[in-house]
Structure formats: structure tokens, C-alpha cells
Chain A
């Protein structure tokens, strides 16, 4: 059985239908990229999987149990979410990461919570800025703090919405490498919404191509073809190999 099963999921904002009949299985330990045009429902799908939004149709099974029947705390111990935009308030890095322990805290933090927080901060290479306020961090550091908070939740599944969209080239690679390492070392399943299709192709195991609120195609690298991308993004591309890395190049017209 798959770790996560999405069964004929439907979601609407009022009268506007955003997701229609989404079926999806996610296997343990894989990195799955969700690709598609802006406004196609990628973020909405992530939010449904984390129960931030309640889908009106269909259901989501986590390890076989219906997500809508689980308590918020139980979901939070198994699924973590990093939104595209993070609040840049003046809490300290340590406090921000410690917040990831929230689903485990009853009255106050335990020494185990502190220990896990310290470890995650180290894994993410954030020791230097551990007690700086979030408002003083660079974009790359902030993104790492948000990842660290999600990791402190010790989730089985990590949902990432555009983790590289506000980062420079070096930080993009660094964050993606970290994500790949985390996935491998901790056997965490990762669902990631990406706009940078080239970065996505390099780091993902499987892909979901979305079009108009539906899944257009899903599978491994074999579905990343010029025809499919043209269908989904409505633009002509060629796929070329540079230093054995596939590169998708959009063409004019």
C-alpha cells in the first residue's frame, strides 16, 4: 500500500472549482515534483494533503487511515508543510525551529524537544545564526529555518511549496541538495511544488504534471517529454543534454 493515497479529490473556492478528480499515490521515501502553470491548483493540492484546506470531494489516506478523521496534532506529527512565503517576524531562529515541536508539546517543552531542535539546527548548518532574529536573515537562511522547523516535526511526509523561488542560484542548489539528502537519510517522503522545471528534473524521482485542476500525467522521468511539457505549459520546448543533465529550453513562439 502506498504511504499516501489521494482518491478522486475535489476542491472549490466558492463556485470556483480548483481541483477535479485528483488521484495520486505517493510511495515512501520518494521525491515527487508537482509541476504545472500558475493557478493550476498545485498549492491547493498541497494544502489539502496537509488538511490546511478541507476538500469537498474524495478522500486522502495516510498509511491507510482517512486524513479527515485524524486530529490536527496527529496529522502534524506525520506531515510537515513549508509555505512559499514565510512570516519574517522577529522571533529567534531557535524559537522558530522549536515551534516545529508544537505537535508534541503538552504543557511545556521537554529536554528531548530541545535536543531535537539543536540537532536539526546543526543538520541545516544554522548554528551560527541560531539566536538571530528571523528579520535579520538572508533569504537562503530563512528558507533553511523553515525547513528546519518542518524537520523538527519529525514528519513522514514533507510538503514544500516553491522552496527555491526566492533564492539565488547558489542557494537554490544548496537547498535542493539538502532536501535530497534529508529525503535519503531520514527516509522522508517529499512532495514539492516547483516552477523551475530544470531543478525539479534533477532532484525528483517522480513527477505529476497538472493542467486545469486535473492530473495530466504522472510517472518517472519518462513523462518529461517535449510534447507533455508543451501540453501543460502551452509553450514549445526542446530537451537537450548538457554534461549529461537534461535541460529544458523554451523556444520562441
Chain B
């Protein structure tokens, strides 16, 4: 067998291993929760949806939560992978570039000003999103606002990749300030809803919202995967990519557009969960390398695994209190961020 085939086979093996781990983590996460269910009950409930308590817990709470973790985890990881490539910066991600904050601001705006959500006095679903499409649309507009400013700075002023991150962080601060302003204007119940976006939480997603997330995310992921060779070309520099026939400006713009889209649909329903876009791609680069044919699916799977893991951890670390999952991912992500920063300085 040629060396190249072996080389590719190794990467495929990594992908299979990740898919297997994802499956295992899925099963484990279904078994974690405040109500104790044994493995047989869990297994049985997945295949027999009845009105019994175990079945309700699995179907109404745990399954939708775990599947949301998968969709959100892979979305954020892929958004990070794409942004790192098109912005030519290893520190780029939805969180560090302020896109998540822009989306959260957009969502909060639609709640307070446009009354797209309402609060109910039910413990399990404190927030009812009355018009999920409106919230998603505004989250997307918010995230695009941030992206447009950053891209304009890059295009018109030609700022360096390093400064680009600072511009993203600045936009993040601006959106946070905007969200805080909305909190002052909000009623008590709306306030609860907004706070929800500043601490990501997977626990409030319904099947309908999961459906919307999946429906938006899957086509975007296909588009991104179809562009994997363009991303590979971009990695070799602007001129080389152009000389290979790549419309670099278009690839960069559409890359940012779809990265923002999948970020904002996630943020609209689960809030800001930071660092998955950094952790996902960087933790798999050592195994699959920089080739986007493998890097994209591999980061996606790893992002999903990470988020399932973090979410399960957030439920058991000081059980029965459920921590916002964003806290767990921040604890993992910040050291990585600093590590990349220091490594890049050399």
C-alpha cells in the first residue's frame, strides 16, 4: 500500500474512533441526571416512548438535551475551524471574535424590545420562547453586525490577524454592554430570560427548537464541507490560493457568513457557550493535521464530544445544582487560549 493511503487511513481511523467515543458519551450522558435511572430503564425508554416517568425523563429532558449538545458542539467547533482558516488566525472562534456576544445581544433585543419570549413559572422551562424564528433571525443579525465591523476593518484598513482578534474582543465587549443595557430596561421576568443568554445552558431546548437548529445547521455544514479544498488552498496564502483558481474574497466572506449563521442559531437557543470553537479544532489538529477534509469532520465530532462531556460534568459536579455549561468550557478553554497565544509569540 502506498504511504499516502496509510497516511489517509490513519486519519480515517481517528474519525471512526471519535465517532465511537461520541456514541459512548451519548449513552453515558443519557444515564447522568438528578433522577437515578439504571441502564436498562434508559435503554428501554429510548425505544419505547410511553407516559411513564422514566420515559418522560429520557424523551423530554435528557435525549433532547444530549442531542442539542451534539448539534451545538459540532456547530461551534466547525465555526471555529472555518474562522481560524479564513481569518488566518489560530485564536479565532465564535466566542473570541465576539460573534456569540453579538448573537446573544440580538436575541436579548428581540425579547425585550420585540417581546419574542415570555417567562413562565414552571421550574423545568422557566423561559418559553414564543417566536423562535424571530429570536434566531435577530441573533443572526446581531452576530453579523460584529462580523461586518471586523471584516471591514480587515478589508479597508488591512489590520493584522493579531489585531483582528482584538477587534473581535472589542466588539464582544460592546455587545456585552448592549446586553447589560437591555437588562436595565427589562422587567424582572425578561431579565431572567436575558441572563440565560449570558450563561449558556443546554437544558431549555425543546424538540421544536432542536429541529430548527438542525435544519439551519446541516445545510451550512454541507456548504462548509464542500469548500474544504478552498480552505486548504487559503492556508497556503492569499496569492497561492488565487493562483489555484480560488476566489479568495468570496470563500472568506461566505465562510464567515455561515460560521456566523450556525453560531447564532446555537446562541439563540442555548446561549453563549465559549471556547468550543477553539478546543474542538485545536485538540484534534495533532491527530488529523491541517487538511480540512479531515479537520472539519474531526473537529465537529470532537466539539460534540466536548460539549456532551462538559454538560454532563455541569450536572454532576455540585449535584443537584446544575452549573451553566459555559463555566466548564471556559475552565478548559482559557488555558488553551493562553497556550496558543504564548506559542504564537515565539
Contacts and interface: CB of A to CB of B under 8 A. Distances in A.
B243 interface: yes
B233 interface: yes
Contacts of B229: 102, 105
Interface stretch (A11-19, A74-82, A183-191, A195-203): A74-82
Interface residues of B, number: 23
Interface string A145-186: 000010001000001000000000000000000000000000
B243 A79 contact: yes
Interface stretch (A20-28, A61-69, A92-100, A218-226): A92-100
Interface stretch (A29-37, A44-52, A239-247): A44-52
Contacts of B247: 72
A77 B244 CA distance: 8
Nearest to A77: B245
B2 A118 contact: yes
Contact of B4 (A76, A86, A114): A114
B290 interface: yes
Nearest to A73: B245
B48 interface: no
B289 A72 contact: no
Interface string B1-31: 0111001000000000000000000000000
Given A91-B289, A131-B7, A102 B233 contact: yes
Interface stretch (B69-77, B137-145, B234-242): B234-242
A149 B244 CA distance: 10
Interface in B239-266: 239-240, 242-247
Contacts of A76: 243-245
Contact of B244 (A74, A91, A114, A153): A153
A103 interface: yes
B98 to A, nearest CB: 26
Contacts, number: 83
B185 to A, nearest CB: 46
A206 to B, nearest CB: 23
Contact of A91 (B226, B239, B291): B291
A94 B8 CA distance: 11
Nearest to A108: B293
B89 interface: no
A96 B244 CA distance: 12
A225 B108 CA distance: 74
A114 B2 contact: yes
Main secondary structure of the interface of A (DSSP, over half): mixed
A71 B242 contact: no
B290 A90 contact: yes
A29 to B, nearest CB: 21
A139 interface: no
B2 A99 contact: no
A103 B230 CA distance: 10
Nearest to B88: A87
Contacts of B180: none
Contacts of A114: 2, 4
Contacts of B237: 83, 86-87
Given A50-B243, A118-B2, 20 more contacts: A52-B242, A72-B242, A73-B245, A75-B245, A76-B243, A76-B245, A77-B245, A89-B235, A92-B289, A95-B289, A95-B291, A99-B232, A99-B236, A100-B244, A103-B244, A105-B229, A107-B226, A108-B293, A117-B4, A131-B7
